[in-house]
Structure 1
Amino acid sequence: MNKTNPGVALVTGASSGIGHETAKALLNAGYRVFGTSRRADAKGANGITMLASDVTDGASVAKLVDKVLAEAGRIDLLVNNAGIGLLGGAEESSIAQAQAVFDVNVFGVLRMTNAVLPVMRRQGKGRIINLSSVMGLVPAPYNALYAATKHAIEGYSESLDHELRTSGIRVALVEPGFTRTSFEENLTRPDQPLPIYDSVRGKMEIHMRKGVDTGDAPMIVAETIVKAATASVPKRRYAAGKLAGRVRFLRRFAPEAAFDKSLRKQMGLSD
């Protein structure tokens, strides 16, 4: 593999939004790209091979990896992008619903990663990029369970990178802020809604929609993923977009009390 032929990339959740733009950007960067979708009839851009796969199903993941290896013989890059959101008070979700979100956002990443690691280890090289979020860095009222999955991915990815470096495999995080995709349209709603949260939950949904409407184009995130994929020595984390960069800076350097006050004010939460 070289700069003009960086190898084979596998992108989960590639039928729309960030995943779709990422697949196209990697194709333009010279990768042979395989994208996944839960729908068997999902269409990719010209040059992208779309395969049906469900990250919550271990057998489906194993079948996917076997298909890619049968067609391409190797996997040089895995982009774990597939994910779902959940908007509502933390106590409004049943344990079963919380487990379902973790099954996609966390255990889906684990299933995909564990499936490609033997391949990358045999190759003596590989790169894994996990999509986190600014909600993996900061508190996210009324997105607590989603934020918890992204905090988990942060800790998992950083730890895994230390484990795999001696095998020539690196792991990096990409942290978007609000992005102009249909993500908010596909948010899961609480399965045990409580009237006490109705008003503020509605305000949070409006806040999120405004953030998405004025957010970064998904191509910005895709370009950041390509940067993380092609860096000879990857950084541990890549902020994708101006908002993500500001949030990460403030989280690191602002006093905790000041950050807390600013967050509550911005979200219209009273003390």
Structure 2
Amino acid sequence: MTPASTSTSRPVALVTGASSGIGEASARALQAAGYRVFGTYRKPLTQWAGGIEYLACDVTRDESVSAAVQQVLQATGRIDLLVNNAGIGLIAGAEESSVEQARALFEVNLFGAIRMAQAVLPAMRRQRSGRIVNLSSILGVIPSPYSALYSATKHAMEGYFESLDHEVRGFGIRALLVEPAYTRTSFEGNVLHADRKLDAYQAARTQAEALVRTVMQQADTPETVAQVVLRAAQDPKPRLRYTAGSVARRVSLLRRFVPAAAFDKSLRQQLGL
């Protein structure tokens, strides 16, 4: 962890997975907006963003999460904002992933976010204020063939944090969801692949992977999503869900208003199914 004083007059933000992509962009946006920002990393960094105080944290380990949160509290005495950003992707047919691989994905994407939330909530309840902003996905709203398990983690995140939001409002705390579509990040380095690939799905899976690579070339920037994270953090009358980027907004509207059969047909046509 970089050197820190023992008090702060600025709001304090803790951002997981802040070493790159949306996490790094969100940390920078919050720091520019006046927050004192602590960013977590799992692997040691080669380059450190100025103004961000970094600390190691593995969201899959209870003791690591607890230690990181305690470091922030010892340095500042409070946590005003948690941004649950740490996560990994998976492109595979649902049948192509073992239960062990499914568990590993949920361990990061869902249980990691739950661990972080449970670690900061006692301090937020004492403060009678706080906000938890979770990086969900538009795939937490729609189905996605060949991303079934990833979609499942985001659907579960949506259900958990929408329920939590109702429970903690009485303490002055909100739990919110940011839903981006595809975002230009280090895609290949953060996506898992099937641990037991089957020939039966190879052609369709390959086409799904190619579609993702094509879409990523014109995807939203991490900074676009970071501005939505900042809005969710500061909105005086926060909404439960914030879509990030034009594609996510369009898909969200289509899901709500287009008949289910038409939406299903369009989705299958796009994926060549």
- TM bucket, shorter chain: over 0.9
Residue segments in structure 1 that go unaligned for 5+ positions in a row? none
**How do 1:120-131 residues align onto structure 2 when only pairs under 5 Å count?**
120-131=124-135
Partner of residue 97, structure 1: 101
Q: Decide whether aligned partners of structure 1 residues 185 and 202 sit closer, same or farther in structure 2, where only a CA change above 3 A counts.
A: farther
Secondary structure of residue in 2 paired with 1:180: coil
Partner of residue 118, structure 1: 122
> Are positions 1:136 and 2:140 aligned together?
yes
Amino acid at match of 1:48: I
Q: Distance in 1 between matches of 2:215 and 2:16?
A: 24
* Residues 85 and 184 in structure 1, CA contact (< 8 A), matched pair in contact too: no
- What is the CA RMSD across the aligned residues, in angstroms? 1.0
Once the two structures are superposed, residues 185-213 of structure 1 have per-residue CA deviations (whole angstroms, 9 ceiling, x without a partner) of 42101111111111111111110111111
> Are positions 1:215 and 2:226 aligned together?
no
Residue segments in structure 2 that go unaligned for 5+ positions in a row? 1-8
> Are positions 1:254 and 2:258 aligned together?
yes
Partner of residue 155, structure 2: 151
**How do 1:25-174 residues align onto structure 2 when only pairs under 5 Å count?**
25-41=29-45, 43-174=47-178
Q: Distance in 1 between matches of 2:49 and 2:63?
A: 26
Q: Distance in 1 between matches of 2:219 and 2:45?
A: 29
* Residues 19 and 45 in structure 2, CA contact (< 8 A), matched pair in contact too: no
Q: Distance in 2 between matches of 1:14 and 1:44?
A: 10
TM-score by length of 2: 0.95
Of 38-47 and 257-266, the range deviating more from structure 2? 38-47
Of 66-75 and 166-175, the range deviating more from structure 2? 66-75
Secondary structure of residue in 2 paired with 1:106: helix
Shift of residue 6 of structure 1? Answer: 5.4
Q: Distance in 2 between matches of 1:159 and 1:132?
A: 15
Amino acid at match of 2:11: G
Runs of 4+ in 1 over 6 A off after TM superposition: none
Once the two structures are superposed, residues 79-117 of structure 1 have per-residue CA deviations (whole angstroms, 9 ceiling, x without a partner) of 000001110100101100000000000000110000000
Q: Distance in 1 between matches of 2:70 and 2:157?
A: 25
Amino acid at match of 2:66: A
Aligned length in residues: 265
Partner of residue 5, structure 2: none
Secondary structure of residue in 1 paired with 2:89: coil
Shift of residue 233 of structure 1? Answer: 1.5
Secondary structure of residue in 2 paired with 1:112: helix
Shift of residue 42 of structure 1? Answer: 5.6
TM-score by length of 1: 0.96
